[in-house]
Structure 1
Amino acid sequence: MGTPAGIDSIAASSGEAAPGTAAQPESTAACPSAAATGAPARIALAGVHGFGTHHLRNLGRLQAAGAVDLVAVADPQPPAPGSVPPSAAVHTGLEDLLAATADLDVVIVATPIQTHAPLALAALATDAALYLEKPPVASLADYNRLLDVSAASGHGVQIGFQSLGSHALAAIREQLAAGTLGTLEGISATGRWVRDRAYYKRSRWAGKRSINGVDVVDGVATNPLAHAVATALRIAGARTTADVASVETELYRANDIESDDTSVIRIRTTAGLPITCALTICAAESVEPYVTLHGSSGTAVFHYTEDRLVVETAAGRTEETYGRDDLAENLLAHRTAGVPLLSSLRDSGAFMLVLEAVRTAPLPTPIGAGHVRWEGEGEAAHAVVAGIEEALERAGREHLTFSELGLPWAVSAPTSFPVPAA
């Protein structure tokens, strides 16, 4: 990723609430109180629009409990009236905020993908811990640089994969340890969402691979459905770059964009477990995404936006909804008490290999017009790839790409990414 001319110059928020991320339930853990932790943690937020609105709501909850004090925000666009506490200073960029604000405990960065690296580095130059929205950065080189800087600083860095705070993950580990599913033979992640023409016009970086030589990598697997990939990797035990043996990509697009909107990512861990992520934002209707564990004696389906786990074996079917730990609270506990991070920068290494595979892959192959229908009118119209629902299911179940399934519009072929030696 190239270095922008100035950190403040490209720090505009996306303007969309949670691009591709469903609304998350609030934490079920007890909120840390000022009495328990001393003075409220001093928080700064970069990016108050788009997914920044989620952070504003969550910080409001924590501030009401006495756990935090939102002392400053930064965004080139003014905050919505009443969205920021009157006591919080408002800046147009993070550089100005950091220069004017002392003794910060945590900096949260919820800005466009291409700004993550410079803003994260600026935050780590202070004495604050960092909460960085997903995806962490837009290239493996920037990830490695950020990893080195964070290690040298000694500050915690939490990555905003909220699904990794789900208590269902512990339940899945228990199911696997107990042998409920038999031998785990593979994992699939399935995502089928709808995004209309307006989605790609909400900001200048939407659907871009790069802007003026600066990497963006706003593809279906790296932004809208990035949680599906990250969650599948975590369940497979693939956290760091050393946990991934191979990555293959097969990228397509139905929309007139640079990046992919319909893709298969096939991963194999160093333990030999296959993970296949079959994802689209060109479905007929949106369905909550899910990660499936395929065992020799049963399956477990984790609907990660709902924290809902469905297990089916010869003994029957069970379904349970779990709670979730809030990542901001977890970062505060890490800073004050050394509690392990749920979604650390280092544990995002496996995901970053997938992002790098997408970034360096050939341009997405356009899906022929004869295989795409458009539903809706004007900016609300959205593309629907013919037969995509069945194709996603088969790809995940059989660990095959679209071309290997023989789909008529899949005229590309899987591209192997040269995974760097650990």
Structure 2
Amino acid sequence: MSGSGARPPLPPAVAIVGIHGHGASHVRRARALEERGVLRLCALVDPRPDESSAVPATGGVGALRHGEHATGDAIPWFPTLGDLLSAPEPEVRPDVVVLSTPIPTHLALASAAMRAGVDVLLEKPTTASLAEHAELVAVAQETGRLCQVGFQTFASHAVAAVEQAVREGQIGEVTGVGAVGTWVRTTGYWQRAPWAGKRRTGGRDVVDGVVTNPLAHAVATALRIAGATTTADVSDVDVDLFHANPIEADDTSSVRVTTRSGLRCGFGLTLCAPERTPATIVVHGTEGRIELAYETDRVRVVTGSVDLDKQYGRDELLEDLLAARREPGRRLACDVRDTGAFMRVMEAVRTAPEPRQIAAEHITWHGEGADRHPVVTDVARWCERVAVQHRTFTELGAPWAHA
């Protein structure tokens, strides 16, 4: 007889580690996917519980029957990942953990999860150093677990479309790749966490600057389009780091990367622009250019005879990870191994001399209190020149780069 009364298999159990700040967006997305039956949100992990959605594990687990809580109900809470992984209750045992925690914790937490047989979605940047990245890749290989890194653009259909256009020669031979990011961050941003704006804290690397955190997507995505994903794909990195804010890290920087194939990439990035504009990656070719506004997944192809603009969608990295669990051999959208090229840039930033302070005469301050923010003179124009000419601020002669 068929087991007509057998229970259907439960969806994979997912725990969110780090539920405040950006982690709160992971909780919201997980709840939305739970409503669709894609996953079961089994636990929240953070030293500080979210009183609106979490209950202490000792009081909440017993109320869960195979995780069949309605979205909006309280979810078991644990103060640390170790507490969750050692919990005896099967209802809270995760199949996947999403790690949205401070940068110095990434290696230890992701390694602990994978060694416990759990797959991982890890927020960017991958780790705090290139050596840590190599160690994390080794753990993934050793355990056979999946480790997806949170560069959402890698799951964008727009990025795939740009890569296809390049392969098809729609703009001729590619001569260079650039990225421009001119954003605004206020004083409050640099006060968001004890490690914000730091290069190191407590003797550990943090590297929380414009290149490696807020505009890291510009760097990683441009490198991917240039054909550089692994550490071996990068031949050379030159960084030119500055800050207008009273922080340790950089808030206005230029980077030049030369890929293994000899292609040059230039990134002009700042958090001290007069206004936030869409971050854009530009692929230059002998017969035109491709512009990718990666935040909105818009692609523009411009040649002598064509000027096309198209909107694309993107997949969710967590859904992509869950699909890879179901389909052995399926490639992750952003496997930890595919962030090696970005980590070469991060390592160059980490080991570079301290960022130079931009002189006061080149800075105008706007706003008050937590909304106060600096604007560097003509910074957007200089960022655009970096992206086009693949030269650093200092090489281009930006006046504040010589202060």
Q: Which deviates more from structure 2 when the two are superposed, residues 100-109 or residues 213-222?
A: 100-109
CA apart distance, 1:74: 0.6
Distance 2:190 2:110 in 1: 25
Partner of 2:277: helix, strand, or coil?
Answer: strand
TM-score, normalised relative to structure 2: 0.91
AA aligned opposite 1:312: V
Q: Is the 8 A contact 2:242 2:358 kept in 1?
A: yes
Show CA shifts across 1:84-129 (max 9, x none).
8535210111111111164421011011111111111111121111
The structure 1 residue matched to 2:303, chosen from 313, 320, 337, is 313
Matches within 5 A, 1:105-254: 105-254=95-244
Q: Which 5+ residue runs of structure 1 have no aligned equivalent? A: 1-36, 413-422
Matches within 5 A, 1:278-317: 278-317=268-307
Show CA shifts across 1:257-316 (max 9, x none).
000000011101101111111100000000110100011111111000100001111113
CA apart distance, 1:177: 2.3
Q: Is the 8 A contact 1:109 1:120 kept in 2?
A: yes
The structure 1 residue matched to 2:84, chosen from 97, 103, 125, is 97
Q: What is the root-mean-square deviation in Å for CA atoms of aligned residues?
A: 1.4
Q: Is the 8 A contact 1:139 1:352 kept in 2?
A: yes
Q: Name the counterpart of 1:17.
A: none
Partner of 1:285: helix, strand, or coil?
Answer: coil
Task: Return closer, same or farther for 1:165/1:80 CA change in 2, 3 Å cut-off.
Answer: farther
CA apart distance, 1:64: 0.6
Show CA shifts across 1:320-343 (max 9, x none).
010101110110111121221000
Q: Is the 8 A contact 2:130 2:347 kept in 1?
A: yes
Q: Name the counterpart of 2:386.
A: 395
Show CA shifts across 1:130-176 (max 9, x none).
11000011011111111111110000100000011110122112211
Task: Return closer, same or farther for 1:234/1:38 CA change in 2, 3 Å cut-off.
Answer: farther
Say if 2:77 is the partner of 1:86: no
Q: Is the 8 A contact 1:71 1:87 kept in 2?
A: no
AA aligned opposite 2:102: P
CA apart distance, 1:38: 3.9
CA apart distance, 1:351: 0.6
Distance 1:230 1:174 in 2: 18
Distance 1:392 1:134 in 2: 23
Q: Is the 8 A contact 1:376 1:382 kept in 2?
A: yes
Matches within 5 A, 1:26-65: 38-65=9-36
Show CA shifts across 1:59-82 (max 9, x none).
111101111111111111221514
Distance 1:356 1:407 in 2: 25
Q: Is the 8 A contact 1:70 1:85 kept in 2?
A: no
Q: Name the counterpart of 1:326.
A: 316
AA aligned opposite 1:91: F
CA apart distance, 1:372: 0.4
Partner of 1:286: helix, strand, or coil?
Answer: coil
Q: Which deviates more from structure 2 when the two are superposed, residues 87-96 or residues 347-356?
A: 87-96
Task: Return closer, same or farther for 1:123/1:200 CA change in 2, 3 Å cut-off.
Answer: same
Partner of 1:57: helix, strand, or coil?
Answer: helix
Q: Name the counterpart of 1:260.
A: 250
AA aligned opposite 1:81: S
Distance 1:407 1:169 in 2: 31
The structure 1 residue matched to 2:348, chosen from 334, 342, 357, is 357
Q: Which 5+ residue runs of structure 2 have no aligned equivalent? A: 1-7, 55-70
AA aligned opposite 1:44: A
TM-score, normalised relative to structure 1: 0.87
Distance 1:299 1:38 in 2: 49
Show CA shifts across 1:214-243 (max 9, x none).
110001010010000010011111011110
Greater C-alpha radius of gyration: 2
Distance 1:395 1:80 in 2: 47
Distance 1:400 1:276 in 2: 7
Partner of 2:374: helix, strand, or coil?
Answer: strand
Q: Is the 8 A contact 2:219 2:267 kept in 1?
A: yes
Identical counterparts, % of pairs: 45
